Amino acid sequence: MDRKQSTPENPVLVNREPDGIAYVTINRPKLLNSLTKAMITDLARIFKSLNQDDSVRVIILSGTGRAFCSGVDLTAAEDVFKGDVKDIETDPVAQMERCKKPIIAAVNGFAVTAGFEIALACDIVVAAKGAKFIDTHARFGIFPSWGLSQKLSRIIGANKAREVSLTATPLTAEVGERLGFVNHVVGETELLKKAWEIAEAIVKNNQDMVVRYKAVINDGVKLDLGHALTLEKERAHEYYNGMTKDQFRKMQEFIAGRSSKKPSSKL
């Protein structure tokens, strides 16, 4: 297990569990988990490292205290924004998007601006009742660079996204679930448990196919349906052509073994 103790010197915590689930925790609760330049760089480094770690199969991202992440620490805005926003090595969202492993956001309290963008960079979002997602770019004169201006409109529709972003209107977890960017809304005490249940269900599956399936979904949503279907066909052809007779035999044995067991409960 790779555990960092909760201290002011460790505003981002990492915990690798033996079951293949890694926990990343934004740990600056007194300042609502606002991000410094060092924290941003650290998050990027951590996600890159977890992506390269074969023992990690799923990642759960959360925040301590009353917020998931309240955005960039604006008292250090120049230090953060004067950097090269195109540098993917220090960009946590870019590293999350490159990560082959599924990332589950466990959102409590506030997910504001950069925090909202980090949540949208996750593959699955679980939110506590009372959680709020807010885009304050327009309010504070901050130009988005982690994808919120493009991703939100593709999920909830351009008209609704314009209203949310241009008015800085908070969206509750319940509204987020209706609009489609929140998967589950649960009680605050159940938040990490629900995220863990989803992660555990993923871990039980074929890891190679989990990675491939995430990739084809994420790559496909960037295309129109016709090209996305072609992409699926091409990758399926590549996958099956690369399988040996022994791999097909093991697949059939695995399916036979699973079909003899009771189906798992729905998420």
Q: Distance between alpha carbon 41 and the CA centroid of its chain, in Å?
A: 17
- Which amino acid is located at 194 in the chain? K
Separation CA 196–CA 19 (nearest Å): 11
What DSSP designation does 14 have?
A: E
What DSSP designation does 112 have?
A: E
Mean pLDDT computed over every residue of the chain: 91
Per cent of the chain over pLDDT 90 is 80
Q: Is 185 left (phi over 0), alpha (psi -120 to 50) or beta?
A: beta
Q: How confident is the model over 154-176, as a mean pLDDT?
A: 96
List, for residues 182-221, the tens digit of each pLDDT value. Answer: 999 999 999 999 999 999 999 999 999 999 999 999 999 9
* Position 266 confidence tier, pLDDT thresholds 50, 70, 90: low
Q: How confident is the model over 97-106, as a mean pLDDT?
A: 97
Q: What is the pLDDT of residue 214?
A: 97
pLDDT at 235 over 50: yes
- Nearest-5° angle of CA 180, CA 183, CA 186? 130
pLDDT at 3 over 50: no
DSSP secondary structure, 46-104, as one string: HHHHHHH-TT--EEEEEESTTEEE--B-GGGHHHHHTS-TT-GGG-HHHHHHH--S-EE
* Position 156 confidence tier, pLDDT thresholds 50, 70, 90: very high
